[in-house]
Amino acid sequence: MTLPFGARLRHAMDERGPLCVGIDPHASLLADWGLSDDVAGVERFSRTVVEALAERVAVFKPQAAFFERFGSRGIAVLERTVADARAAGTLVLMDAKRGDIGSTMAAYAETFLHKDAPLFSDALTVSPYLGYGSLKPAVELARESGAGLFVLALTSNPEGAEVQRAVREDGRTIGATMLSHLAEENAGATPMGSFGAVVGATLGDLSAFDLDINGPLLAPGIGAQGATAADLPAVFGAAVRNVVPNVSRGVLRHGPDLAGLRDSAARFADEIRTAVASA
């Protein structure tokens, strides 16, 4: 792995389309697939998603919580899922939303961003709400490992606004402050920086925020949450080319049929390409 995450992500998006598919084995999806809500069901689910899509999508986003709920056996399944996906050439964004201070944040970073860690991933979601500076251990290790981070900035859940749109003494919102920090991290990076933001595709007009951070924008909300690919240019404006839309239930509900998963992912990818090209 010689290139930083931002460069590898840009290449993957250009080659495979800008689509991130979640690997979210929650109980209702397992039931819909006719699988048991246990470690065996989670493993079958995850292997099927990887088999169907690993050579077809740019990014997988496993949600760590759905594996962690089964303890060490579930984490072992997550380790195998990450290894299989990366071996097939798909970037893995671990959705763990870790955030803490000092040595604890450093330990979280080592869990997912150290090259020798069993759960080493290409990127990790992190929460900056103990202060952006608390993420320093993760930022430093990501740079060292050629990995990336996605920082929660403007999330799609309604509750997020009470924190992210709160106004600081300098007149900027908290969300805008996080975007500004990320722009500084990505300054001078080509073709794209490795430090991204999570920005919901369901949020409507975001022209009040400077989304040009020279880094990727992970956009949850396409599909089951109500946003469509056609909404992306209006939400993200000039930054739309760096948007990585995340689709989970919209794709996964077509399993366990491999063809159904592939057709659904291809359809979303085509719709996103069309929307970005028209912007």
**What's the half-sphere exposure (Cβ side, CA atoms, 13 Å) at 183?**
12
Q: How many CB atoms lie within 10 A of CB 102?
A: 10
What is the CA angle 108-110-111, rounded to 5?
65
- H or E element in which residue 277 lies: helix 258-278
- H or E element in which residue 102 lies: helix 102-113
Which one from 61, 97, 115, 136 is the annotated catalytic residue? 97
Residue 116 burial by CB count (10 A; 0-12/13-18/19+): exposed, middle or buried? exposed
- Calculate the alpha carbon distances from 169 to 173, 174, 265 in Å: 9, 10, 44
- 61 given a catalytic annotation: no
Tokens standing for 186? 């990505």
Which residues are tagged catalytic?
A: 97
